[in-house]
Structure 1
């Protein structure tokens, strides 16, 4: 009997000390409310991120309506005899860029300027219409 009382006393002492040192860690009843609150908060954050992601996708779709392509034609001249041609040269003979813009489905505006050594000329400018 005395040993049982001592065991109960020691266990009670352990529970009291651990409850004092670690409040709310032993009994899970108050913890359930905290978990529910944290879970709701987490879901609200996820929904907020989903809304921001959808808005970002819309902005990206608008930006992908403009497409820029092109090429550059360069030339390097190297002469072994400086009497014939005194300098080695590098030059850009031509640079062509092509800009496509699609404001709505089925309509595409195209502009292609040509930047050459003789000047800047519009090489192509047209509108594509698709059904």
Structure 2
């Protein structure tokens, strides 16, 4: 398929803008909004993967759309959370690639929510992630 770089860049820009529109993004990417949704995720994760108490998986990844011959130390790093069927529940893309994963997690909007749940006696909801997140 012969598509120019400028056409590809425009298409990526248009698709990205469409996906980031609040009405679209919030419909498809959202963390559970209440205990019923959290319990449903926990049940689904146990049924699909066999992990008790898990509501999602957490990971950081570098996302770069530059050609491979361009080296850039400030490629954006994204922390994302997905459920047992790999649906994205949350994304945090505020920091450059030089930012430590644990810092990205500590500044995410999900971390205080899970901390609050735990402090209020709801101690059976967990995210799976790398050891680095236990900071």
| Structure with the bigger percentage of strand | 1
TM range (shorter): under 0.3
Higher relative contact order (CA 8 A, sep 6+): 2
